[in-house]
A and B are shown apart, each in its own frame.
Chain A
Amino acid sequence: MTIKFKTISNGEAIPIESIPHLPFDEFSTQAVEIITGGGKVVQFFAFQTDNTIRLIGVLRTDALLVATCDVPERYPALTTQCEPFHMFEREIAEQYGIIPEGHPWLKMVRYHPNCRGVDDAFGNDYNEDIPGNYDYYSVAGDEIHEVAVGPVHAGVIEPGHFRFNCIGERVLNLEIQLGYQHRGAEDLLLKADPKRLAFIAENIAGDTSVGHSLCHSQAMEALAGIQTDDGAKIIRTIGLELERIANHVGDLGALSGDVAFLPPANYCGRMRGDFLNMSLLLCGNRFGKGLVRPGGVRFPMNDDNRRDLTARVSELKPQVQHTIDLLFSTSSVHSRFEGCGTVSRSDAEKMGLVGPAGRACGLVYDVRRCFSTERYEYLHIPENAESTGDVYARAKVRADEVMQSIGIIEILLSRPAETEIIDVAEMVLAPNSFVVTLNEAWRGELSHCIITDAEGGILRYKVKDPSFHNWNGLSMSLRNTGISDFPLNNKSYNLSYCGFDL
């Protein structure tokens, strides 16, 4: 069968008419064909145009493939043939009330009414709280016990409800219910004043500010036909890598703390701060907020800053290396990390795990290498794949990435980055166009998708945080794992609640 999906590139704006509009059955068959042949789902969502609801699928193989179709109110679920559509079909059902018939687990994603005001796909009453109003998956038996954790947690973290079905210390199933932080980010991006868009985008997930603002900016630039200069690209790449390092270092410390091995926990906590302070030097904000804007960056990097950053990186590099060595050479840490929370490669493929969580299971996909943006095409990004899929593998991938990212920053800092600071007041977006952007944020593939209407306004803004894929990975990790190892597994993923909840 010839694939009728159109091949596009990352961050390329194309007219909607040029996207193949297939009959539903053909769309469905082709999409399943691509995914069963080894492809993955990047974006799969519904949008409304002229009173018809359309589905659009962005899939990836070696290239990005896109096609649309009109969707009936009820359709046979793609998930039954092909697991990676699972979360996406639930999301479509929740957002548009379109029912995928035969879906194996048709459950709400974020717990909100659909945007069309049609009957709720799940029969929920949205006046009630989530944990009390949902029939969780349950296991029966004399020795079975159920543990409910959250939505309010012991640490200063975001809200989410976790329901464990256990037999003794062993977890049979973990069900995760999120949605407590649903702010309607996608709708907000449609309604907000155009000047506010960049601010909203970079605040979708506070620990991925640079990632989200980069995805947003690339999409807007593509639609407005703006080119960024090389200097801006260098600074953006440095910003994204600093974000990666800070988060990975912080999480390696937290992993160490979770197994009660304190020295690396303390050192990493301090070093995370040092890396955040480098973002502070770059743009005045420790989390890189306000650095990336459509058109370029808002802060230049003069030679003083560059020298300062270079000095700080070379001072920190041996310290980071030493701490990672300490963590990974301690046998009691090994015994906790190894074999804990294992996800098989085939499960990872089916759930579509991305980022370090996917690479820990042997899925080598990395947006930086596969669909390079900014300066990544000039940089060497190793595959970093581990095969074991356990906490050790996830920690190892992240530790390796920290050292590689430090190397990348050193390379990027070696030459001056001259950039024109631009302040694009009003951007004119191409009408009836479509763009998808992908970037490797620290958790994995992050994607923004914009469809514009006939006037050049935003018709649909779709955000997909890597956590959207990976939360199910955490759930899978806990199968047959001791419940006392949950915090360790959770930290090895450290997924975003607000990035998922939108």
Chain B
Amino acid sequence: MTESILLWAFALLTAPLFAGVIFKVKAFFGGRKGSPLLINYYTLIKLFKKGSVYSTSTTFIFKLGPMVSLGTAATALLFLPIAGQSPVLSFDGDVIFILYLLGLGRFFTIAAAMDTASPFEGMGAAREAYFPIICEASMFMILILFYRLTGDLNLAAYFSGAQPFGFWQTAGSPMLFIIIAFFIILLTENARVPVDDPATHLELTMIHEVMVLDHSGPDFGFIEMGAFLKMFFYASIVSRLILPFDLGHPALNLALFSLGALIVYVAVGVIESIMARYRMDLVPKFVLTSFALAFFATVITLEFIK
């Protein structure tokens, strides 16, 4: 249990560092030195030192948004088996609870955006509400597969110990589809290229960024931290799927897990460097690809097991 809590603390502390890796990768491709690896910590410290400014037209919903989005992301991590250790909390059916916990965070971010009555934020909110619906479909498709493979409905059963390797043994190559599907979900949920462009300053093209334009100071810090944690959540899952080994020692497992997470973050950075983002009306097709992959993986695998 202590180890689980320590790993949870590890996740909270290192999530901004991993996110900094993306900047470095993008800088490398752009022929620049780039910002320091610890840039996200500096940003967070800077934001927490500041005061928040609130528009007079907003209500308590606006202030609630950042807290809820950080809270839900941190809570979701409590249920995630990090580096193969059993998670801090777990119960049967927690996967569905976690999905909607993250959904709750998104709901409040959207509500806070709508609360400002800014046309930009309304547009962002509409986009943010639309794309994850498709993600949800593919998430459930993946869950159906995992449930049929393990008979359990909790994250601990899927990702702790040597279980991810069990997926590979029973499902085999369709797991590649699942990894790609998860990766697409990761890109969509975390507003990365080719779905969204986290680096743009153009409100009209933003999805996630535009919703949080009116937040400032510590509130914005909460949102940033929440985003780092959410990214870490998805990256951990992919990390366990691509390196599904149990090395027998917690420290070795943590190192292997970190390596996996690093690979995921570098991959995100590489994708952002080598391709342009999709036109807004093509994004749903891209996200739908993850559903198709998950669907086929499920069909192939389940047929195989029978």
Contacts and interface: CB of A to CB of B under 8 A. Distances in A.
B279 A260 contact: no
A145 B119 contact: yes
Nearest to B277: A260
A263 B202 contact: no
Interface stretch (B81-89, B192-200, B222-230): B192-200
A335 interface: yes
Contact of B281 (A154, A267, A270, A482): A482
A260 B193 contact: yes
A262 B205 contact: no
Interface in A148-163: 148-149, 154-155
Contacts of B199: 260, 262
B204 A486 contact: yes
A483 B279 contact: no
A33 interface: no
A336 B194 CA distance: 11
B276 A260 contact: yes
A44 to B, nearest CB: 34
Nearest to B205: A484
A266 B34 CA distance: 12
A147 B276 contact: no
Interface residues of A, number: 33
A32 interface: no
A49 B275 CA distance: 60
A333 B273 CA distance: 12
A12 to B, nearest CB: 45
B187 to A, nearest CB: 12
Contacts of A332: 194, 275-278
B112 to A, nearest CB: 19
Given A147-B119, A258-B200, A340 B279 contact: yes
A485 interface: yes
Contacts of B276: 256, 259-261, 330, 332-333, 335-336
B120 interface: yes
Contacts of A147: 119-120, 123, 204
A337 to B, nearest CB: 9
Interface in A252-310: 256-263, 265-267, 270
Contacts of B273: 262-263
A169 interface: yes
Given A145-B119, A260-B197, A265 B30 contact: yes
A149 B200 contact: no
Interface string B5-28: 000000000000000000000100
Contacts of A148: 119
B272 A262 contact: yes
Contacts of A155: 201-202
Interface string B110-151: 000000000110110000000000000000000000000000
A387 B275 CA distance: 26
Contacts of B119: 145-148
B249 interface: no
B45 interface: no
Contacts of A104: none
B280 interface: yes
Chain B contact-residue range equals 20 to 34
Contact of B30 (A169, A266, A336): A266
A154 B202 contact: yes
Given A147-B123, A154-B201, A169 B281 contact: yes
Q: Most B CB atoms within 10 A — which of A259, A335, A340, A482?
A: A259
B42 interface: no
A488 B197 CA distance: 13
Interface in A457-495: 482-488
A194 B272 CA distance: 54
A267 B31 contact: yes
A10 to B, nearest CB: 39
A267 B274 CA distance: 14
A146 to B, nearest CB: 7
B282 interface: yes
B113 to A, nearest CB: 14
Contacts of B272: 260, 262
Interface string B229-256: 0000000000000000000000000000
Contact of B277 (A259, A263, A266, A270): A259
Contacts of B275: 261, 330, 332
Contacts of A486: 204-205
B204 A483 contact: yes
Nearest to A170: B281
B194 A260 contact: yes
Given A154-B201, A260-B199, A335 B277 contact: no
Contact of B279 (A149, A256, A482): A482
B306 interface: no
B204 A487 contact: yes
Interface in B26-49: 26, 29-32
A263 B280 contact: no
Interface in B193-224: 193-194, 197, 199-205
Interface in B271-306: 272-282
Contacts of A487: 200, 202, 204-205
Contacts of B202: 154-155, 258, 487
Contacts of B32: 266
12 contacts: A149-B204, A169-B280, A169-B281, A260-B277, A262-B26, A262-B272, A263-B273, A267-B30, A486-B205, A487-B204, A487-B205, A488-B205
**9 closest pairs, A vs B, by CB?**
A266-B30, A259-B276, A260-B197, A261-B276, A487-B202, A332-B276, A260-B277, A332-B275, A147-B119
Interface of B: 26, 29-32, 119-120, 122-123, 193-194, 197, 199-205, 272-282
Given A259-B276, A336-B277, A487-B204, 12 more contacts: A146-B119, A147-B120, A148-B119, A154-B201, A154-B202, A169-B281, A262-B26, A263-B31, A265-B30, A270-B31, A332-B277, A486-B205
